[in-house]
Structure 1
Amino acid sequence: METIRRLKGYLEPESITIIGVSTRTGTGTFNIFEVMLNSNYIGRIYPVNPKGTDILGHKTYKSVAEVPEITDLAIISIPREAVLGAVKDCVTKGIKSVVIITQGFADADAAGQTMQQELLHAIRGTGTSIIGPNTLGVVNLRNDYYTSFVNFIKQANDTAVVCQSGIFIAASLDLTAGLGLCIDVGNACDIGFNDALEYFAQDAQTRVVNMHMEGIHGGCRFMEIAALASRRKPLLCYKTGRSEAGARAAGSHSGSLAGEDHVFGAVFRQCGVIRVQDVEDMHYLNKTFLTYPGMSGRRIGVVTISGGAGIATIDACSDQGLEVADLTNETLKILNDVSPDWMNVNNPADIWPAGMSRGYLPIVELSLETVLSDPNVDACICINGGYQDPEDNVLDASDIIKEVARRHMDKPLAVWVAGPSREKYRPLLESSGNVVVYPSPDRAARSLAMLCQYHTEIKNRSVTSPETFTDINTPDVAVIIKQHLDAGPVTVNEPVLEMLSLYGIPAITSRKAANPGEALAAASATGYPVAMKIVSPQISHKSDVGGVCLNIGDAGKLAVAYEDMLQTVKTNAPGASIEGVLIQPYRPGGVEVILGVKQDPEFGPVLVFGLGGIYAELFRDVSFRIAPLSRREALDMIRETKVYKLLSGFRGAAVGDIDAVADCLLRLSQLACDHPEIKELDINPLLVSPQGVLAVDARAVLAS
């Protein structure tokens, strides 16, 4: 509740001090005071300018101390060298909420980073908070109020935006089809992304929360807030910095690390956040969620004036995981009875021939009403023509479409107007607030798929708890880790299988050999056939350098294989330190999968599962989750990959023990959470058979 109270002072201030008001006014001067006056803000505004010159007929004050009241908010827009003094003046005055517009702090050079730390030091323990620096501040279009130095179109709706760049305020009409509340956290030196998200999550009037995210600090808190908030309202996130170049730019722009993109993908899936693809996707998803109250299933009916457009729409639906509705016999009879004898109407329902013979407008109404009344249909996409201006078009069905949509609010009716006059039809169709006009069938299908996902999966998903095990040996693993840690990160191989065994993950027996004699003794104790693998902390992919030899049947073959392997590895990896070989029982058969974990600086252990063996990095058939895991999340990881089909008995193959794989993921999750010194760990491969699983090879990176 403290976060809510603090942010209320920013979003609902009754009085504002503006520090750094320019005496220049008019177009192109970016005068915050002038912009605020023009926005019809009804609160009290006190401009501060050292010259004390009246501006736009309003008295100005030479200092914050001269302002006749302690205002709810202060806005600072002055050169960065003067910002610290202004903040201290606000603290002395007793102002609790400060927006710093000025750039050039952690978003810039080393000096700027130091200045930003000085700002934090100045407010520590005072009760004063900061949004920014490097921000456009806040917006509340419900109250005609914003702290920006630029005017923008004020089209209010029930969306909220938390962003890390001011363009996502200024472009809100494009991005979110309007705006209700917005906080641009900028460099987030004090009030951050999570604070804004928490506020919008509890705000009763906000129906959709939008996020522009470059990076995040406080990843675990973000997951907690988002997981709860996504059950109340849709959370849409436009995550930038996906590419390596974009990640570097994000770091320089907002002063936060962008993080690896697949980690954010895992976070969003676990928390119920819908990741938007681009700016247009965000725009139409907002309109979709604001317009349609729900969607109960994935079955789509298509009513079209063109057979070709109908086929394109079916393809778009299929691409998004939507289903072509199997229309009932009663529905098909009604549609075919009004169509020419030579027509066989199905789904998509091409109504143009019937419309030309029986009257277009009556057929549109009959067809849409019939399809939306079908119990096998969860939503409908209507393809209508926009070849003429609405005022000249005797075939304008806008009123009919809106009325049918009104009668079926439980089933979304989406419209694609095909033709050059689409934008002229858009306001006619969307004026009732129950229809969205999309620019393409692909956009319509994508939007309906996300609407369905939210209402059938995210909104009502059950809360699951992480699964933990008691048959583990934490102290012995801690001892192994301590034995191998040194001043810096260290890569270990053979101890990892022992660590896995101590956490209940079945691991193959291994014997290390430092010379040919020890290798022969190890193989004799193991029993032929055996597998032999090189041991070197510098070699992660043993097979790439010739460091794996399988199915060695006797001592003679082992002696030859040993010498050949060492010579090959020395040639292929000349800088590697070779400590010997591992001798293991040879275990052919089974599906090879990879299990892994990597410590993320913001979110903690990140689990990975996918196709294993030598093709793991080639095909990259993998899924990710943040630890700790529930059993449902572990099973979801497996089902998301193509290897799930292999484990399920692809083309008559034996069915693998999927529950045992899930157990391994859960145990690996617990291992990583219990021992943060494990920075990376790979099990590759884990052999999966009908009888269970077996970890055959593993490596880890340890660090204090």
Structure 2
Amino acid sequence: AASFYNPIDILGDSGADRYEKALSTVLKDERINCVMVLLTPTAVVDVEATARSVMTVAARTDRPILTSFMGKERVEPATKMLLRHGIPNYSYPEEMVSSLHAMYRYHLWLQRPEKRYPTYQEFREKAEQIFIDAKRENRTRLNELEVQNVLHAYGFSPPRSLLARTSEEALAAAKGIGFPVVMKIVSPQISHKSDIGGVKVNLNGKRDVENAFFDITTRVRNLLPSAHITGVLIQEMVPKGREVIIGITSDPQFGHMIMFGMGGIYVEVLKDVSFRIAPLSKEDAHEMIRETKSFPLLRGVRGEPEADIDAIEKSLLVLSQMASDFPQIIEADINPLLVRNRGEGVVAIDARFSIGGD
């Protein structure tokens, strides 16, 4: 029996006139935006006449009509006719539906409101001398203090930090910042400090600091004897929060791209990241965060409060501005960017910058 609902079944013995009548009737309904015609030829079906009926109706409407005439050689003359009249034909219905879905997504994209591109022009001047000095000295990386100063210049909030070259300086720095503290190796040859045991956390007193200084520097000298050790960085111990990573990478084809993902030591394992071409719009930053699989963790699970997602979005936009201000940045990441609860902001715990070119 025929079906008068969607999908409409006009039976296998339908002639071309029934196809034309059914199509015309359907398109009288203003709620119908598109029609897909599926034809599997039977012994009594005139395929070419059916194609002409479809073409006749298509000429009277501005709404898209897609066809899937199946049968390869038997339907080939009819499908050529359809194509000549601008009616796409697909060998299988799945391809037809996929194409319609792509058309719908493109329609939604066209309907999107104009993107908003915020600018932060006031930051560049504060950081420019750091990049000038690095270029003059032919360095490909910024050192720890330079990284901290760049982050400060662009409005990020790194932990309070002091550079120490001896255990005595490390202890004095720790006392000045206040226990507990974190200690990190500082060397231009070492970018992934945790991988070689170059980070010690939760140091709570004189003995902890002295032991950590000896352990870190000895370990680095044994593992990387050619590495130049500038000293150690003493940082305040920041209360826990959710860790994300944001970064810049320079792509040969697309130029600077901005990255977001869940951070910490597992970022290279989880690979739950998203990218956009710089400069970012507010809409880009909003979407980047929400398209990662781990986004629900930022929203809060099992009674956890929501993280400060607005602060992450602003951080991405500021990083995009930095990429535009300094095209010589080849790669940069802030990992982890510690995200506090909603309204409490973010803290740039660690970062690295690789530079080159002009």
TM-score, normalised via structure 2 length = 0.80
| 1:577 matched residue in structure 2 | 228
2:62 pairs with 1:409 = yes
| 2:101 matched residue in structure 1 | 449
Q: 1:658 to 1:373 in 2, by over 3 A?
A: farther
1:382 aligned residue (37, 50, 55):
37
2:282 pairs with 1:631 = yes
Cα RMSD, aligned residues only: 3.5
Q: 1:550 to 1:444 in 2, by over 3 A?
A: farther
Q: 1:454 to 1:491 in 2, by over 3 A?
A: same
- In structure 1, how many angstroms separate the alpha carbons of the residues matched to 2:119 and 2:249? 19
CA contact (8 A) 1:629 1:666 kept: yes
State the Cα deviation string for residues 147-188 of structure 1 (Å, max 9, x = none).
xxxxxxxxxxxxxxxxxxxxxxxxxxxxxxxxxxxxxxxxxx
Q: 1:666 to 1:518 in 2, by over 3 A?
A: same
| 1:547 matched residue in structure 2 | 198
TM-score, normalised via structure 1 length = 0.44
CA contact (8 A) 2:248 2:258 kept: yes
Larger deviation: 367-376 or 515-524?
A: 367-376
CA contact (8 A) 1:416 1:439 kept: yes
- In structure 2, how many angstroms separate the alpha carbons of the residues matched to 1:536 and 1:407? 73
CA contact (8 A) 2:182 2:202 kept: yes
SS in 1 for 2:212: helix
- In structure 2, how many angstroms separate the alpha carbons of the residues matched to 1:540 and 1:594? 15
- In structure 1, how many angstroms separate the alpha carbons of the residues matched to 2:224 and 2:28? 69
- In structure 1, how many angstroms separate the alpha carbons of the residues matched to 2:324 and 2:21? 60
| 2:267 matched residue in structure 1 | 616
Q: 1:481 to 1:419 in 2, by over 3 A?
A: same
1:426 aligned residue (64, 75, 79):
79
1:694 aligned residue (340, 347, 350):
347
Q: 1:350 to 1:646 in 2, by over 3 A?
A: farther
| 1:489 matched residue in structure 2 | 139
State the Cα deviation string for residues 329-353 of structure 1 (Å, max 9, x = none).
xxxxxxxx945xxxxx976x383xx
Q: 1:642 to 1:367 in 2, by over 3 A?
A: farther
SS in 2 for 1:437: coil
2:324 pairs with 1:673 = yes
Q: Give the C-alpha shift of residue 376 in structure 1.
A: 6.3
State the Cα deviation string for residues 574-628 of structure 1 (Å, max 9, x = none).
4432222222222343332222224557765432222322233334333333433
State the Cα deviation string for residues 675-698 of structure 1 (Å, max 9, x = none).
344343221111223221111111
CA contact (8 A) 2:185 2:233 kept: yes
Partner amino acid for 2:262? L
1:468 aligned residue (107, 119, 124):
119
State the Cα deviation string for residues 3-24 of structure 1 (Å, max 9, x = none).
xxxxxxxxxxxxxxxxxxxxxx
- In structure 1, how many angstroms separate the alpha carbons of the residues matched to 2:115 and 2:313? 15
| 1:478 matched residue in structure 2 | 128
SS in 2 for 1:492: coil
Higher relative contact order (CA 8 A, sep 6+): 2
CA contact (8 A) 2:14 2:45 kept: no
- In structure 2, how many angstroms separate the alpha carbons of the residues matched to 1:572 and 1:645? 40
Partner amino acid for 2:337? L
2:5 pairs with 1:355 = no
- In structure 1, how many angstroms separate the alpha carbons of the residues matched to 2:76 and 2:303? 54
Partner amino acid for 1:383? L
Partner amino acid for 1:489? R
Percent identity of paired positions between Structure 1 and Structure 2: 39
Larger deviation: 479-488 or 539-548?
A: 479-488
Partner amino acid for 1:702? I
Q: 1:602 to 1:436 in 2, by over 3 A?
A: closer
- In structure 2, how many angstroms separate the alpha carbons of the residues matched to 1:364 and 1:519? 85
CA contact (8 A) 2:51 2:79 kept: no
1:591 aligned residue (231, 242, 249):
242
Q: Give the C-alpha shift of residue 653 in structure 1.
A: 4.0
- In structure 1, how many angstroms separate the alpha carbons of the residues matched to 2:281 and 2:188? 33
State the Cα deviation string for residues 79-127 of structure 1 (Å, max 9, x = none).
xxxxxxxxxxxxxxxxxxxxxxxxxxxxxxxxxxxxxxxxxxxxxxxxx
SS in 1 for 2:11: helix
| 2:213 matched residue in structure 1 | 562
Q: Which runs of 5+ in 1 are unaligned?
A: 1-336, 340-344
- In structure 1, how many angstroms separate the alpha carbons of the residues matched to 2:8 and 2:206? 75
Partner amino acid for 1:533? K
CA contact (8 A) 2:323 2:329 kept: yes
2:169 aligned residue (518, 522, 538):
518
Partner amino acid for 1:569? V
CA contact (8 A) 1:405 1:413 kept: yes
Aligned residue-pair number: 350
State the Cα deviation string for residues 381-401 of structure 1 (Å, max 9, x = none).
433214x6xxx5426443454
Q: Give the C-alpha shift of residue 537 in structure 1.
A: 1.2
| 2:311 matched residue in structure 1 | 660
| 1:646 matched residue in structure 2 | 297
- In structure 1, how many angstroms separate the alpha carbons of the residues matched to 2:28 and 2:263? 48
State the Cα deviation string for residues 656-686 of structure 1 (Å, max 9, x = none).
2222222222222223333344343221111
Q: Which runs of 5+ in 2 are unaligned?
A: none
SS in 1 for 2:307: coil
